[in-house]
C-alpha cells in the first residue's frame, strides 16, 4: 500500500509538471479538468467517467464528480490551443536527425454495436477483417535526445463517418500536420503497408526525406 501511494504521488507530480507547460492561455477550471481526465485515465486504466471519477477520490459524491466531468466534456473547446501549446513544448527536440514514424493501428470493439460512428477494422493481432472498431493513426518522433518516442500526432477515426474518404487520406492529413508545424525537417518512415505511389509523389513534390519499406512486387529502377 505504501509503494502504491508513493507511485500515485509520483504520477500526479510528474503529470502536473508536464501539464503546466501546455496550460498556457487555458483557464484554471479547464486546466483542472484536463488534469483530472488524464490522471483518471492513468489511474483507472479506463475511459468510463464512473471509473475516472472513482480514481480521483474526491471528497464529494461520485455522482457529482461524474456530472462535473460530463459537463466539462460537453463544453470543452480548447483543443486547438492545447495542440498549439503541446507543439511548442516538443518543438525544441525536433531537428534534422528526427525520425517521424507513421503507423496505423486499431481499437476493436467486437461486442459493441451502437457506439457512435463505429466502423469496421482489420484486427492485426489475428488477421481477421470486418471487426467492429475504430482506426488509430499515430506519428511518433524518435529524437537524438530521448530514448522514448515523442507523440507528434495522434488521431482516432472511423471509416463509418460521413466525411471519411480513405486511410491514405487520413495519413496525408497527418503528413500535412507534421509539415505545417515542423516544416521539412527529419525523415518520415513507413512500413510496407504504405508502399503507395501517393506517398512517393507527396514526398518528392514537397522535397521531404522519407523511407518506405517496399513490397516484394515493387519495381525498382537503378539509374
What digits encode the pLDDT tens for the residues 139-162? Answer: 999 998 888 899 999 999 999 999
The alpha helices in the chain, defined as continuous H runs, are 2-21, 28-44, 49-56, 62-75, 79-90, 167-182, 197-206
Domain boundary among 23, 58, 81: 81
Q: Is residue 223 part of a domain?
A: no
Residue that terminates a domain, selected from 81, 113, 147: 81
DSSP conformation class of 195: -
Q: Which of 81, 102, 137 is the last residue of a domain?
A: 81
Residues 157 and 198 in one domain: yes
> Total structural domains in the chain?
2
pTM assigned to the model: 0.85
- Which is it for the CA torsion 47, 51, 53, 54, positive or negative? negative
CA distance 123 to 25: 40
For residue 128, what is the domain's CATH number? 3.90.350.10
Q: Identify whether residues 154 and 183 lie together within a single domain.
A: yes
Q: How does pLDDT run across 205-220, given as a tens digit for each residue? A: 999 999 999 888 887 7
Q: Give the domain range for residue 110.
A: 94-212
Position 102 in a domain: yes
217 within domain boundaries:
no
Percent of the chain with pLDDT over 70: 96
Cα angle for residues 103, 107, 112 (degrees, 5° grid): 160
Amino acid at each position: 500500500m505504501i509503494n502504491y501511494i508513493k507511485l500515485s504521488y509520483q504520477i500526479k507530480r510528474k503529470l502536473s509538471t508536464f501539464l503546466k507547460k501546455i496550460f498556457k492561455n487555458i483557464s484554471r477550471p479547464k486546466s483542472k479538468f484536463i488534469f483530472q481526465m488524464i490522471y483518471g485515465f492513468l489511474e483507472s486504466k479506463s475511459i468510463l467517467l464512473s471509473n475516472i471519477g472513482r480514481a480521483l477520490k474526491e471528497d464529494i459524491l461520485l455522482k457529482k464528480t461524474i456530472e462535473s466531468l460530463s459537463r466539462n466534456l460537453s463544453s470543452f473547446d480548447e483543443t486547438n490551443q492545447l495542440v498549439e501549446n503541446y507543439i511548442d513544448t516538443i518543438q525544441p527536440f525536433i531537428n534534422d536527425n528526427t525520425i517521424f514514424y507513421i503507423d496505423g493501428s486499431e481499437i476493436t470493439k467486437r461486442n459493441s454495436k451502437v457506439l457512435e460512428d463505429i466502423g469496421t477494422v482489420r484486427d492485426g493481432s489475428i488477421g481477421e477483417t470486418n471487426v467492429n472498431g475504430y482506426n488509430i493513426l499515430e506519428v511518433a518522433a524518435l529524437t537524438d535526445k530521448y530514448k522514448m518516442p515523442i507523440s507528434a500526432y495522434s488521431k482516432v477515426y472511423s471509416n463509418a463517418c460521413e466525411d471519411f474518404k480513405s486511410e491514405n487520406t487520413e495519413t496525408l492529413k497527418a503528413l500535412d500536420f507534421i509539415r505545417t508545424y515542423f516544416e521539412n525537417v527529419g525523415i518520415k518512415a513507413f512500413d510496407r503497408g504504405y508502399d503507395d505511389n501517393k506517398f512517393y509523389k507527396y514526398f518528392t513534390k514537397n522535397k521531404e526525406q522519407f523511407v518506405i519499406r517496399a513490397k516484394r512486387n515493387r519495381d525498382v529502377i537503378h539509374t
